[in-house]
Amino acid sequence: MNAKIIALCNQKGGCAKTTTTISLGTGLARQGKKVLLIDFDPQANLTQGLGFVEPDEMEFTIGDIMLAVIGGKEPPYIHDCVLKAEGIDLIPSNLGLSTVETPLINALSRESKLKQFLSPLREMYDYILIDTMPSLGLLTINALVAADSVLIPVQAHFFSAKGLEMLINTVSMVRRELNPALEVEGVLITMIQENTNFGRDIADAVRNTYGAYFKIFKNQIPLTIKAAETNSRGMSLFAFDPGNRAAKAYEAIVKEVLRNAG
């Protein structure tokens, strides 16, 4: 194995980034792939969205791993950190991750600490997905440096589409200065009201503005109540309501990602 590492990024919250991470991860696992998800957000929405409702009581999280790597110490044994849910492995997060940015500022090779930890894990998985926090700070930069590609979920809303330029500028900076091999896996339009002119107009604007430069996923994720409920239920959309329109759309996205790799 030589895992493909995909960072899911958008500095704007509310774009279905965590739902996409869970759906893509569990969807890849349903296709027989060995998958690791990393919750790289102190809010721990990914951790809770997979049913682990008390992240602050966990013995080991990605925050503990990062602090060990920053301090030049051996990180906790990987099998002590990994939780299992719906056929995937998860390295959880909690509020402790918010304490990592300060020591990270003064660390040597500060942008590469997550990459340093993940490099030996590549041989254990087919895919490693990193759910980043809604910011473009040092933790998100670490995710982009560690990644082979970045998947960008964008809500079909004017302000979300407008904020895409800032993220793409950050991706371009990381590619220029820190990770020349970083690719854009694709821009994924989410939470679209397909039966409205407004939703279609925003989707068309994203495709027309960025389609010449980056892959825009052919399939879009429709706005459905069931998709919005999944995180609070602690399970993936596939487990909660596999017949849902959004679940069918995520199945198509999984196939697109597999084609990207093949």
d(Cα 49, Cα 25) in Å, to the nearest integer? 12
Per-residue confidence (pLDDT) for residue 162, from 0 to 100: 67
d(CA 30, CA 34): 9
Helices 158-177 and 197-210: crossing angle in degrees, nearest 10, is: 20
In this predicted structure, the answer to whether residue 146 has a pLDDT above a threshold of 90 is yes
List, for residues 16-41, the tens digit of each pLDDT value.
999 999 999 999 999 999 999 999 99
Ranges of each domain in the chain: 4-261
Q: Nearest 10 degrees: CA dihedral of 25, 225, 9, 102?
A: -100
Q: What average pLDDT does this structure show over 213-239? A: 87
Of all residues in the chain, the percent with pLDDT exceeding 70 is 97
Residue type, position 85, single letter:
A
How high does pLDDT run on average in the chain? 91
% the chain with pLDDT above 90: 70
pLDDT for 161-188, tens place per residue? 666 888 888 999 999 999 999 999 999 9
pLDDT interval class at 194 (50, 70, 90): confident
Asked whether the beta carbons of 46 and 138 are under 8 A apart, the reply is: no
134 vs 39, more confident: 39
pLDDT per residue as tens digits for the range 77-116: 888 889 999 999 999 999 999 999 999 999 999 999 999 9
Structural tokens at position 164:
């895409």
According to CATH, what is the number of the domain 4-261?
3.40.50.300
> What is this structure's pTM?
0.95
Helix (H) or strand (E) holding 164: helix 158-177
Q: What is the pLDDT of residue 92?
A: 97
Query: What pLDDT, on the 0 to 100 scale, is given for residue 233?
Result: 87
Whether the pLDDT of residue 159 is over 70: the answer is no
